[in-house]
């Protein structure tokens, strides 16, 4: 099990890229599984950096750096996936009701804009939050176990 945490950083990131793309595909472009995958990624990041003999501030900084890197990749994937649909906002005759998104706002055009903001910006940010949350919970657990021994 310890071999997983000692993987080369580039190989670990490539495995993350592959799994994140699978999560995007499972959600059919909606990154709900990427957000949930943030819990696993946070656990992995925390377990990866805890064997280091560093001061806690440096450990927390590495956790934050890795979490930002993973959610930045998800942001790039979402921007590539949903970015081309922005041109539909400038098509005057386009009927947003037929796009297939939930029309939760009064105006279909505003619902479409809200959907794009949710997919491209808010979802990677939620993945960042879940990654940091899971990493800090794991750090609390791991560091209290080390403290007892």
Summarised one tens digit per residue, pLDDT across range 58-85 is 888 999 999 999 999 999 999 999 999 9
For the purposes of burial, counting CB atoms within 10 Å of the CB of 12, is it exposed (0-12), middle (13-18) or buried (19 or more)?
A: middle
Task: Tell me how many helices (H) and strands (E) the chain has.
Answer: 6, 0
Give the pLDDT band (50/70/90) at residue 21: very high
* Phi, psi angles (nearest 5°) of residue 107: -110, 130
Q: What pLDDT score was predicted for residue 146?
A: 66
89-97 long-range contacts, CB within 8 A, separation 24+: 89/113
- Record the tokens describing residue 46, joined without a space: 């925390």
pLDDT tens digits, residue range 77-110? 999 999 999 998 898 888 888 887 888 778 888 8
The residue ranking higher by pLDDT, 142 or 139, is: 139
């Amino acid at each position: 099990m310890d071999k997983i945490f000692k993987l080369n950083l580039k190989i670990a990131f490539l495995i993350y890229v592959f799994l994140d793309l699978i999560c995007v595909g499972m959600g059919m472009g909606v990154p709900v599984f990427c957000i949930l995958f943030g819990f696993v990624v946070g656990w992995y990041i925390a377990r990866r950096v805890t064997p280091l003999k560093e001061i806690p501030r440096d450990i927390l900084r590495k956790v934050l750096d890795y979490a930002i890197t993973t959610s930045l990749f998800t942001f790039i994937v979402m921007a590539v996936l949903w970015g081309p649909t922005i041109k539909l906002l400038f098509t005057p005759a386009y009927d947003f009701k037929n796009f297939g998104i939930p029309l939760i706002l009064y105006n279909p055009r505003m619902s479409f804009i809200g959907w794009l903001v949710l997919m491209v910006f808010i979802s990677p940010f939620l993945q960042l939050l879940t990654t940091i949350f899971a990493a800090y919970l794991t750090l609390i657990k791991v560091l209290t176990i080390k403290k007892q021994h």
